Structure 1
Amino acid sequence: MDEFSFAQKQRLAYIDFKLYFTGMVTRSEIVSHFELGLAAATRDLKFYKESAPENMAYDNVERKYFITTKFKPVFKHDARRTLIKLANNISDGFDSIGDTLFPIESPSQLNVPDIDVIAKLSQAIINNKSISLIYTSLSSGSGARELVPHSIVDNGLRWHLRAYDRKSKSFRDFVLTRITQITILPQTPSPEEGQSEDHQWMRVVQLQIVPHPNNVKHPTAIKLDFGMKKGMLEVNVRAAMAGYLLRRWNVDCSEKATLSGSEYQLYLQNNKTLYGAENLALAPGYQKDKD
């Protein structure tokens, strides 16, 4: 790749990224993304094909280049950066920032998903395919599963997959780092396995979060931290994600703000809104009504 200019490398990396994480690329996408002419886009595809002849195959009917089973990425795609790109719809596939060093630090992650797992999950979701895999859980160990994935989610601590599980016949969360031996299946999933039938995912609840009435001496500081309006932060969140968010920010979800400790600086004012949401074992202090 040394013979190519920086701009050409960007375009070739885009092709590599599109194949790896969506399973396909078209000439028109390259033209649109980089504001090129058709001739230039054709040359880029030719250069990529010459560099990695077994990575893609052209379909004359659909007029698309599809990933092959022999695909090996030409560029290195960092797992953390790729997840951020996917979450923000950034798809240039070019990770290099040159000689610039930005004065930005972020906390280290203790677990990083396998980049090939991320790629195959992304392909399956975009192309509406089911997958087979080996999943290792804390309760039952390793076993084969068939899933219909619809979203990759950052819960604040780790990445997980939201998918329909054909074994339990329900929508569940699967930790990305526990997924191995993943294969994309050719069959199109049935409608009842799709995202629109994941009611916990489709349901949105509004959380009314305020400074903790007992644990915070100067609530104005908390209001400034979270940009609260009229002393409250209103957050719309998917029911499937509510428990993760509340645990991540240590929001006291007890009925009368009974949790003590400096870590509980926030209080969920309307905890009744959580009724029926899943993963509430993660919500600090939350207890279901006994009736």
Structure 2
Amino acid sequence: MLENLSFAQRQRLAYIDFSLLFKGSIYRNDLVQRFAVGLSAGTRDFNVYKELAPNNLYYDSQEKRYFQAETFTPIFQHDPKRTLIKLANDISDGFDAIGDTRFPVEAPSSLNVPDIFIVARIVQATLNGKAVLVRYTSLTSGENERELVPHSIVDNGLRWHVRAFDRKSQSFRDFVLTRIHEVRILDDADTFEEAEADHEWQRMIPLQLVPHPHNVKHKAAIEMDYGMVSGLLTIEVRAAMAGYLLRRWNVDCTEDGTLEGHEYQLWLRNRVSLVNTSNLAVAPGYAVAEV
């Protein structure tokens, strides 16, 4: 039946499917405003969706919106990698699910991408201020259950993780999405578990990046690569993300720029900005200099 529908209607149905999967609910007016269609057309789209997947949603007359049913199974294939990129850029049109135009631009390959249904549950919990019970496999303690209150999904350049309050350790931590096996949405989060209480996440720190003092022969090339002004690029990053970003960009974080190798083309000039910042074990040269 999907094949007999127009491209425009398939896009609207993909949006319904996407919203149910990642948000857990959708108002009819969401569809109307997103695609600038009339109420009657929006109603027809929901009716068509219900014909295709009657067990995917139910209507709550009090809240006047459709909710994801427990028996929900998406009728479109939402590509995990492309969907994560869209979520990271606040794009929720489901357009990738219906074969939109492919441009001749390639992104770096990934060794693995998270399960799209795990991501959907985490996103639902985050949007609705809920805690989740997950089965998580860590490098130190193996598989166990954790109660988390997620507030952000992050691409650290190598893999995706969720930033969340961990009720076991009573602290905000990062959890790799591919290590999560199951997700069950629980109760509402308390104030001290929400993103506003995550000081490492809320605190912004400046990073002053310059061409590496020893590994770069023609510094002008690096200045052009990064749009430096007078040989300096200053960026503001979240303290919780600093270590990941410094590793991703191969920034030498030693005091005097002593790391050798062509991969180290940048040096962190204001190393002092990292004081009282966690997650720096992965920052090139920083942990070594502390020993």
| Residue of structure 2 equivalent to 1:198 | 198
SS at match of 2:44: helix
Q: How many angstroms does 1:289 deviate by?
A: 8.9
Task: Please give the alpha-carbon distance, in whole angstroms, between the structure 1 residues aligned to 2:21 and 2:224.
Answer: 42
Mind listing any 5+ residue stretches in structure 2 that lack a counterpart? none
| Residue of structure 2 equivalent to 1:25 | 26
| Residue of structure 1 equivalent to 2:258 | 258
Farther-moved stretch of structure 1 (135-144 vs 252-261): 252-261
| Residue of structure 2 equivalent to 1:275 | 275
Task: Please give the alpha-carbon distance, in whole angstroms, between the structure 1 residues aligned to 2:33 and 2:165.
Answer: 34
SS at match of 2:96: coil
Q: How many angstroms does 1:288 deviate by?
A: 9.2
Q: Deviation digits for residues 221-275 of structure 1, max 9, x if unmatched?
A: 0011111122111111000000000011110111111111111110001010011
Matched, 1:46 2:47: yes
Task: Please give the alpha-carbon distance, in whole angstroms, between the structure 1 residues aligned to 2:100 and 2:252.
Answer: 45
Q: How many angstroms does 1:107 deviate by?
A: 2.0
Q: How many angstroms does 1:170 deviate by?
A: 0.5
1:138-177 equivalent positions in 2, closer than 5 A: 138-177=139-178
CA RMSD of aligned residues (A): 1.5
TM-aligned CA distance change 1:101 to 1:59, over 3 Å: closer
| Residue of structure 1 equivalent to 2:217 | 217
Identity of aligned residues (%): 59
SS at match of 2:151: strand
SS at match of 2:130: coil
Judge conservation of contact 2:254–2:289 (CA < 8 Å) in 1: no
1:223-238 equivalent positions in 2, closer than 5 A: 223-238=223-238
After superposing on structure 2, the runs of 4+ consecutive aligned residues of structure 1 that deviate more than 2 Å are 96-102, 287-290
Task: Please give the alpha-carbon distance, in whole angstroms, between the structure 1 residues aligned to 2:156 and 2:100.
Answer: 32
Q: How many angstroms does 1:276 deviate by?
A: 0.8
TM-aligned CA distance change 1:288 to 1:196, over 3 Å: farther
Mind listing any 5+ residue stretches in structure 1 that lack a counterpart? none
Q: Deviation digits for residues 2-41 of structure 1, max 9, x if unmatched?
A: 2211100000000000000011101111111001111111
How many residue pairs get aligned? The number is 289
Judge conservation of contact 1:275–1:288 (CA < 8 Å) in 2: no
SS at match of 2:104: coil
Task: Please give the alpha-carbon distance, in whole angstroms, between the structure 1 residues aligned to 2:287 and 2:108.
Answer: 32
TM-score of the pair, normalised by structure 1: 0.96
Task: Please give the alpha-carbon distance, in whole angstroms, between the structure 2 residues aligned to 1:228 and 1:266.
Answer: 11
